[in-house]
Structure 1
Amino acid sequence: MTNSLFAASAADLTIDRIRALAARPDQVESLTLEFKQQYSKSLVTTIAAMANTYGGMILVGIADKAEPGIERVVGVDAQETIDKIASSCREKFDPPWEPTVIPIPFDDDSGLSVVAIRVDPNVAPRPLLIDLKAPIRLSGQNSTADRARLLQLAREEPSAGVLPMGQNVMAPNLSRDTKGDPTEDFILRMGINLPMGEAGAWRPLSERAINALAQALNDSAFPRALLNLGQGALDQFVGFQPLGHNRSRTARLAWQAFSSTPVRHPLEAVVTVKLPEVYGSASTALMATVTIDVISRLRQYADTFEKVGLPGEEYRYPVPNLATLFDGLLQTVADVKVVTEIARITDIDSALVAQPRELHLVAGRQVKDLLHPGGLKEIPDAGASAGVVFRANPALDLRVAAERQEQVDDWLRQLGLDAGLTGMEALVEEYRAKAAPNA
């Protein structure tokens, strides 16, 4: 779904963002998104259907289809529309329930607005009935729950977490050698939780599906960001391919750089797909997980084998390289091809592949000792930090370059502060100024 709009605060829902959404050629009605030019009796059915399925957003005041030369965002009278929605919900729903309704006024004197209806299945009283029937949502349209689905809705726990709005993942653990020293400079971990479709719940992972995901990852911005982190020193590497511990419901895809030094893999990226075990499970909200780990040993590599761009033991990670890595990660998890393949594996609508909410960084030493010191200054008595948890702004759409850049810059500023350093804001501004002419 349009997760950024669903999670955004009311103040962040502007008419400019709505127009930008409606103007996207790839943004069509889906399992979790519907456009309505004006209020109609079918609107209340769509609300119930979304509540009984994965939730979503309905935007009233936008034409269903985009036509060349015709303005799609037409607007409605907000108060009149909201009154009709509230009245219909009270009269039609069993039990009575109202979703969140937010008017988004035009930025002119027309008095028109787009009315956003947020349907959160985690707070709706499921099953939500209309005329003793439970509407459900299919891709871009409504249907009616059969007996099995109706029983499933009635039996589920109230906090089943149908729509994966919370994307928390466990922090990674560093490996250690026989002396107890960490074998990595740092590990970055990002992940998402996904609902399972009916076929995905019982179907084992196929080689074709995993290979298709590997190809999508290799075609994404991820490999370029990894190579950039190595500053030209990673001349031997293998793209994403299956690697060890693959089972019928677990798959690991790894990108690996190679060297002839004791640090065999200076840099790795591992994408792990885990489908839930369904046998013997009574849960009605089976969830799959996809995690992405970036494992860097570049500093250790520089200590043992000096190469161009890696000046021995003095090597530290330049902030612009980390910015590129963050951006590559975010760009990849929002990449249409990657999202499509993940959705196929889990048998869900691609709209349900939510954008990640957090990024973990766990370091083998103090973070400030990993960063290139140019432009940074240590804060006295700031204390030690060997890790950071970055939270993503849910109002940002990672598919949009400008919003993705805003998220990366926020994370870089947090990185500096959590490491006990000043000067990161100036470094970020300088980096963006240099990059702007080439954007």
Structure 2
Amino acid sequence: MEYEEMNNSLFAASAADLTIGRIRALAARPDQVESLTLEFKREYSSSLLKTIAAMANTYGGLIMVGITDKAESGSERVVGVDAQETIDKIASGCREKFDPPWEPTFIPVPFDDESGRSVVVIRVNANIAPRPLLIDLKAPIRLSGQNSTADRDRLLKLAREEPTADVLPMGQGLMAPNLNRDNEGESSEDLVLRTGINVPMGDAGVWRPLSERAVKALAQALNDSVLPGALRSLGQGSIDQFTGFRPLGHNRSRTARLVWEGGSRSRKVDHPVEAIVTVSLPPVQAIATTSVATLTIDVVSRFRRYAQSMGNMSWEYRYSVPDLAVLFEGLLKAFVDPRVVEEVARITDVDAALVAQPRELHLVADRPVGDLLASTGLQEIPEAGTSFGGIFRANPALDLRVPDERQEQADDWLRQLGLDAGLSGMEALVERYRATTPPLA
């Protein structure tokens, strides 16, 4: 599997965060090979210009100059180049060879010694490149780790396409969820969490309907992930029976809906927690203007109502910070689980490298968030106001496949949740919890 993607931590990181240590760690990974959105070059060559144009005409990506394309036992893969000389050659070639002339972003990353050598990182953003970008009157395109040439149909598509919003490959731009309400307008849910990704569609995926086999394979991958365990963490141990993810409700040729339900044998409220995974392919009539699929996960929780139904009216159920930490981390890990990524890539007919990482979390509550959280360790900030949820953005410099970085993102969301709710003490709560709890591996 090829997981290094155009929207990974190095593609999105600021120049200051691009260090030679991170680049060496990337090059040293045994599974790290060239893909649709990643290429290594030992030094400048004329073929590098074709790779820039091919990435610009496809999904964008990263080119790292100063790294050999294959790891050899006992040899250093990161060899470096003279940064200024290399950038000058590439920029000159872009001006002379490209039609229209266009340059990607160049970031020199110096070695941490006195050698004077660097790795030149080239970021190719397909959303701002003039497409089709021609070289020698041809439009190169990228195919799984190598360059090819667009045929007539692909060239016409490039010429006619509307620019895709830059947020889409980053997994952002999701619609906020809504709380379900009864006939009297009362919410039947405590809260709804939503995260998800947008994924570009490959040529076959654009026209192919969702198959039962593909949907069942995605359901199995989700059931085998950490997500069911994270969902069972809610409710302070009251979940003692549950169903796995399976098709339920509105499933059509372009839409799949998978539902996981958890409850108790002694329940009076059905399914105090459930997770709803929705895969939406673009309608066939919209394919000319948009070729992006969306996958969302909604976590719906009703534990306050569940506790009331059990007849215990002397206390109100509150959501604990550790339970939410497990849930946030589990949601993020599910989206980068290799089997889940593989099934999403198969459905959309793209390289697994193009399956984005989630970059936002929506929360909608039926009352002020401060009234939903367990108050131990939290204090109201005077006149700070209240919050009924919000949108929590992810740090694009974090690679959510790395346990420590995934945990850092979950903790950031918890801290924002506390601050938006007008509460102090969340940072200390998170620190105490992490002191005894390792990240999900």
Give the alignment's TM-score, normalised by structure 1.
Answer: 0.95
Of residues 28, 47, 59 in structure 2, which corresponds to 1:54?
59
Within a 5 Å distance, the mapping from 1:278-427 to structure 2 comes to 278=284, 280-281=285-286, 283-305=288-310, 313-427=315-429
Q: Structure 1: which amino acid aligns with 2:367?
A: R
Q: Does 1:98 align with 2:100?
A: no
Equivalent of 1:222 in 218, 223, 227: 227
| In 1, Cα distance between equivalents of 2:261 and 2:311 | 19
* Separation in structure 2 between the aligned mates of residue 430 and residue 154 of structure 1, nearest angstrom: 55
Question: Given that residues 171 and 199 in structure 2 are in contact (C-alpha distance below 8 angstroms), is that contact kept between their aligned partners in structure 1?
Answer: no
Q: Which runs of 5+ in 2 are unaligned?
A: none
Q: Secondary structure at the match of 2:233?
A: helix
Q: Distance in 2 between matches of 1:332 and 1:352?
A: 16
Matches within 5 A, 1:170-189: 170-189=175-194
* 1:276-304: CA deviation from partner (whole Å, max 9, x where unpaired): 111x3362431111111000111211121
Indicate the SS of the match to 2:91: helix
Task: Say whether residues 1:73 and 2:95 are aligned partners.
Answer: no
Q: Report the counterpart of residue 114 of structure 2 in structure 1.
A: 109
Q: Which whole-Å CA distance do the structure 2 matches of 1:54 and 1:2 have between them?
A: 8
**Distance (whole Å) between structure 1 residues aligned to residue 440 and residue 362 of structure 2:** 30
> Does structure 1 conserve the Cα–Cα contact (< 8 Å) formed by 2:57 and 2:133?
yes
SS of equivalent to 1:208: helix
* Aligned pairs for 1:213-252 within 5 A: 213-252=218-257
Q: Distance in 2 between matches of 1:343 and 1:242?
A: 19
C-alpha deviation, 1:408, in angstroms:
1.1
Q: How much has 1:95 moved relative to structure 2?
A: 1.1
Structure 1 Cα separation of the partners of residues 140 and 336 of structure 2: 30
Kept in 2: contact 1:218–1:239 (CA 8 A): yes
Contact 2:171–2:196 (CA under 8 A) maintained in structure 1? no
Structure 2: distance between partners of 1:98 and 1:317 = 50
**Aligned-partner Cα distance in 1 for 2:439–2:296:** 34
**For the residues of structure 1 that align with 2:27 and 2:233, how far apart are their CA atoms?**
35
After superposition, the Cα gap between the structure-2 partners of 1:427 and 1:358, relative to the gap in structure 1 and judged at 3 Å, is same
Could you tell me which amino acid in structure 2 is paired with residue 31 of structure 1?
Answer: L
Match in the other structure for 2:31: 26
**AA of the residue aligned to 2:389:** G
SS at match of 1:28: coil
For 1:283 and 1:164, the matched residues in 2 are separated by 18
Question: Would you say the 8 A contact 1:413–1:424 is kept in 2?
Answer: yes
Displacement, 1:109?
1.4
- Residue 291 of structure 2 aligns to which amino acid in structure 1? L
Q: Residue 168 of structure 1 contacts residue 191 of structure 1 at CA under 8 Å; is this kept in 2? A: no
Q: Is the 8 A contact 1:251 1:272 kept in 2?
A: yes
Structure 1: which amino acid aligns with 2:408? E
Cα shift readout 1:26-49 (whole Å, capped 9, x = no counterpart): 221111111111111100000000
Alpha-carbon deviations, 1:123-145, whole Å to 9, x = none?
A: 11111111111100000000000
In the alignment, does 2:277 pair up with 1:275? no
Deviation at 1:306, TM superposition (A): 6.7
Query: Residues of 1 paired with 2:152 and 2:320: CA distance?
Result: 59
C-alpha displacement at 1:108, in angstroms?
A: 1.5
Q: 2: distance between equivalents of 1:423 and 1:160?
A: 38
Distance in 2 (CA, whole Å) between partners of 1:266 and 1:285 is 37
Over 3 Å counting, the alpha-carbon distance change for 1:189 and 1:437 in structure 2 is closer
Q: Distance in 1 between matches of 2:440 and 2:29?
A: 24
Among residues 271, 278, 295, which one is paired with 1:265 in the alignment? 271
Superposed counterparts of 1:134-149, under 5 Å: 134-149=139-154
* SS of residue matched to 1:224: helix
Q: Deviations over 1:325-367 (max 9, x none)?
A: 1000111111111111001001111111111221000001110
Question: What secondary structure does 1:293 align onto?
Answer: strand
Cα distance change, pair 57–163 in 1 and its aligned pair in 2 (3 A): farther
Q: Tell me how far apart the structure 2 counterparts of residues 436 and 154 of structure 1 sit (CA, whole Å).
A: 50
Of the three residues 15, 25, 32, the one matched with 2:20 is 15
Q: 2:436 corresponds to which residue?
A: 434
SS in 2 for 1:288: strand
Contact 1:161 1:285 in 2 (8 A): no
Distance 1:321 1:108 in 2: 45
The offset of 1:103, in angstroms, is 0.5
2:194 is paired with a residue of what secondary structure? strand
TM-superposed deviation, 1:68: 2.9
Given the alignment, which residue of 106, 118, 125 partners 1:120? 125
Structure 1 unaligned spans of 5+:
none
Query: 2-side partners of 1:296 and 1:203: how far apart?
Result: 34
Q: Distance in 1 between matches of 2:308 and 2:21?
A: 51
Identity of aligned residues (%): 73
Q: Residues of 2 paired with 1:342 and 1:255: CA distance?
A: 18
- What is the identity, as a one-letter code, of the residue corresponding to 1:194? V
Match of 1:64 in 2: 69
Q: Deviations over 1:156-194 (max 9, x none)?
A: 224565962361111100011233211111000011111
The one-letter code of the counterpart of 2:109 is I
SS at match of 1:345: helix
Distance 1:160 1:398, change over 3 A: closer
Q: How many residues align?
A: 435
